[in-house]
A and B are shown apart, each in its own frame.
Chain A
Amino acid sequence: MRNRIMLLLTVAFAALLAWNLKNILLGLPDEARQDAVYRILYFHAPAAMVGLTGFGVGMVFSGIYLATKNLYWDTLAASTTEVSLMFAAINLVTGSIWGRQQWGVWWAWDARLTSMLVCWLIFAGYLMLRRAIDEPDTRARLSAVVSLFGTVNAWFVYKVIEWFPRLQHPGPVLSFRTGGKIDRALETPFYWNVLALCLLAVVLVMIRMRQESLTREIDSLRRLAHA
């Protein structure tokens, strides 16, 4: 059943992405100042949205673990965080490529870029911490603390372009933050890409969870073998 759901979600992701990619690359006009390169932002920003939201969702799962002490929630938190870290990496790399073309530099140490990098490093540290601790309850408890700390930083990443309007990074563009500054024809494919990346994220988290259940099965068989 789970495999069937994963297959269905993968097909939906691929179909949605292919259709939307055609619209983005062939249907949309070039932007007046940026020409063709602005299309990178249709992946750069959705990757950030999925990544930062995933960090928050991971923190919620960690919170549920702390409340229930059920390790399933800790595993779900770790899987969600790992997948979110991949989306955050996409955001950083594609942003750097866009910045090289638009600003002439690969990187600028402004508050938005730096806080996103710090956020990525915190959650990379979260995964390293998990590998360093063998005892499941201690690992889950400490991971939850790092997740909370990282998610506060993720919230800062989201808000910083409103708090510091004179950054190298552009300010908010989407209509839900500006009240309708962007043309709907340019904005709609953006949300389709957010949905496509969300579907991909769910599939990847499901694969990670399947691997975690394999790990649990191996551990219980090992205990049986040594009993």
Chain B
Amino acid sequence: MNANFEYLCYGLMAAWLIVALYVLLLGLRESKLRRELDRVRQMVEPRSK
């Protein structure tokens, strides 16, 4: 394979890998927040009844 083309592939893969990792991080953070929100809601609900 042309070395030049190989580096182009590395560049494009690196760019999208960084985006994918960040999106994954956002997804993990959001699911953690939603779990925490459910837990705190359950804690508050008996008090408000």
Contacts and interface: CB of A to CB of B under 8 A. Distances in A.
A47 B7 contact: no
Interface stretch (A59-67, A142-150, A160-168, A208-216): A208-216
- Helix, strand, loop or mixed for chain B's interface? helix
Contact of B4 (A34, A44, A204, A225): A34
Contacts of B19: 86, 90, 200
Interface size class of A (residues with CB under 8 A): 20 to 34
Contact of B11 (A43, A210, A217): A43
A121 interface: no
Nearest to A83: B22
Contacts of B10: 97
A86 B5 CA distance: 25
Contact of A86 (B4, B18, B37): B18
A40 B7 contact: yes
B34 to A, nearest CB: 7
Interface of B: 2-5, 7-8, 10-12, 14-15, 18-19, 22-23, 26, 29-30, 33-34, 36-37, 40-41, 43-44, 47
